[in-house]
Structure 1
């Protein structure tokens, strides 16, 4: 899913943050956070350059790309990672298994591969909290598009059994990520309705109602769900605003904190001015929710 303008603007904002903040970020590339089918799952870890005597809050970053593309090195992810590290957070940007052709008409890495990897990343952060110098009780997650969908699942579900490491995060920023994949996208009055339905079918298996329900964060909201900030373009031609409005309403009805911001003149990929606002709002949300130590 296209996010060009949003990403370019975030890169520009990141450069500005680096120039204006006394605290700098350091990045450890290609850290192995798990394996899946013999494949290494890799993360980039963004940290403040200065040491801290206290464990820091941490935010997991999940890229978009229609569950079939994208990278932990995407410009927008890099900008958010650097911006958070400059404000006293540790940020962990991950790659996860992407849907791809497997020959003979088959599709590899369908549901639940992507969310399994995201949950493994949450476990890895918690189980390595001391090494990462983070607070395992203060984990946020942010993502755009398909990444917004996946972080929303991390905020509304927990697959851990008693005695196992929790896979739920405490605060979520969903940037135009869908909430209910049981809906028929071809019925939406948007330009890319057929194309998006095709992505969903490849991701979940065409007509697989069980997977559609399991992969729909809106349907899993309860009073244990995370607090949310949802950012959406009013003219989005890939994920209609009604998708996030329903998620926001479900969260509020469950007694969870949820703020929905709709930028009426933006689509799926914010313009430069909106992207700046979105980045500032994202960092402020995590500072409030996770109580980051903010450098002078």
Structure 2
């Protein structure tokens, strides 16, 4: 009886080890094969004055679902933050967010772009100096910040051209394209969508993580819907920017637009978004970029 008991314990332990091994193996397969990432694809020539600074270079990372799609993939362009003086598409929070969105069936194009305020130190041009206390009364930022946004937007347009040129190679659906960003990247996404005159590709909707525009006057009734997340206690970009954007969307009767004010939260809360709001983002993108029958 004792021998049988020992054998049973050994068999149970073996079964347990096999179960753990298979579970870890499955988890590894899921984690590593869900998303394919092609890093540092060049979407335009490097700016001349940046030297070896890849954070200011015109490079993109392409996140694709591993499984071959039944039809062309909807696209989300993601623009990282950093106050136009720092940040990188390869930052841990950016990568985690892009992976989770791509896992929902999107091609995510995450870009680096020319960081004007990194290459040009200008007193009073930072986002914090211009935006922490609310919207500017004259509807304008410091000229240095305005220039930084415009230059980042120009690079975003170059990335849109790359997408247009390479859509067939990667099975990208250029009729289902959204644009997103965090902080400075959100400012760039908002400017590109609502203020620039780009005609490269139609932008169907925007996901705004704690960004803002100096003025909402340029937003028209035909504007794409907007999904905004903003920390209630953001001390860098005042939450008033989120409310101003949403107010304008409601005035224009763009009913698909949403606002999510995150109570007791501050700036750049990527971990919270990645863990809690991916389904909200997916629902918004799906409803505004429906697949064609």
Is the structural similarity TM-score above 0.5? yes
1:172 CA drift (Å): 0.8
CA distance in 1, matches of 2:270, 2:40: 30
- Do 1:155 and 1:170's aligned partners in 2 also have CA atoms closer than 8 Å? no
CA distance in 2, matches of 1:75, 1:291: 30
CA distance in 2, matches of 1:292, 1:84: 17
- Kindly provide the CA deviation profile for residues 58-88 of structure 1, in whole angstroms up to 9, marking residues without a partner as x: 1001001111110011222211221122111
Tell me which protein shows more strand as a share of its residues.
1
Could you tell me which residue of structure 2 aligns to residue 198 of structure 1? none
CA distance in 2, matches of 1:133, 1:158: 27
Tell me which protein shows more helix as a share of its residues.
2
Question: Could you tell me which of 152, 162, 165 is aligned with 2:200?
Answer: 165
Could you tell me which residue of structure 2 aligns to residue 42 of structure 1? 59
1:240 CA drift (Å): 1.4
- Kindly provide the CA deviation profile for residues 169-211 of structure 1, in whole angstroms up to 9, marking residues without a partner as x: 211110110222xxxxxxxxxxxxxxxxxxxxxxxxxxxxxxx
CA distance in 2, matches of 1:236, 1:19: 38
Q: Secondary structure of the residue that 2:237 maps to in structure 1?
A: coil
1:219 CA drift (Å): 2.6
Equivalences for residues 277-296 of structure 1 within 5 A: 277-291=276-290
CA distance in 2, matches of 1:264, 1:76: 20
CA distance in 2, matches of 1:24, 1:158: 35
Which 10-residue stretch deviates more, 243-252 or 275-284? Answer: 275-284
| TM-score, with length taken from structure 1 | 0.71
The structure with the larger Rg is 2
1:158 CA drift (Å): 4.4
Could you tell me which residue of structure 2 aligns to residue 25 of structure 1? 35
- Do 2:63 and 2:102's aligned partners in 1 also have CA atoms closer than 8 Å? yes
CA distance in 1, matches of 2:206, 2:89: 18
Could you tell me which residue of structure 2 aligns to residue 255 of structure 1? 253
- Do 1:179 and 1:244's aligned partners in 2 also have CA atoms closer than 8 Å? no
Could you tell me which residue of structure 2 aligns to residue 58 of structure 1? 75
Structure 1 residues 132 and 102 mapped into 2: Cα distance closer, same or farther (>3 Å)?
same
- Do 1:125 and 1:132's aligned partners in 2 also have CA atoms closer than 8 Å? no
CA distance in 2, matches of 1:74, 1:54: 30
Which ranges in structure 2 are unaligned for 5 or more consecutive residues?
Answer: 1-26, 51-56, 124-143
1:286 CA drift (Å): 1.8
Could you tell me which residue of structure 1 aligns to residue 173 of structure 2? 135
1:283 CA drift (Å): 2.8
Structure 1 residues 86 and 274 mapped into 2: Cα distance closer, same or farther (>3 Å)?
closer
| TM-score, with length taken from structure 2 | 0.71
1:101 CA drift (Å): 4.2
Tell me, yes or no, if structure 1 residue 177 matches structure 2 residue 215.
no
Q: CA RMSD in A?
A: 3.0
Could you tell me which residue of structure 1 aligns to residue 131 of structure 2? none
Equivalences for residues 141-290 of structure 1 within 5 A: 141-160=179-198, 165-166=200-201, 168-180=202-214, 216=215, 218-256=216-254, 257-270=256-269, 276-290=275-289
Structure 1 residues 222 and 104 mapped into 2: Cα distance closer, same or farther (>3 Å)?
closer
Structure 1 residues 25 and 274 mapped into 2: Cα distance closer, same or farther (>3 Å)?
closer
Q: Secondary structure of the residue that 2:211 maps to in structure 1?
A: coil
1:24 CA drift (Å): 0.5
Question: Could you tell me which of 68, 87, 90 is aligned with 2:104?
Answer: 87
Structure 1 residues 273 and 90 mapped into 2: Cα distance closer, same or farther (>3 Å)?
closer
Structure 1 residues 110 and 36 mapped into 2: Cα distance closer, same or farther (>3 Å)?
farther
Which 10-residue stretch deviates more, 38-47 or 145-154? Answer: 38-47
Q: Which gives a bigger RCO, structure 1 or 2 (Cα 8 Å, sep 6+)?
A: 1
Could you tell me which residue of structure 2 aligns to residue 185 of structure 1? none
Tell me, yes or no, if structure 1 residue 100 matches structure 2 residue 118.
yes
CA distance in 1, matches of 2:149, 2:65: 35
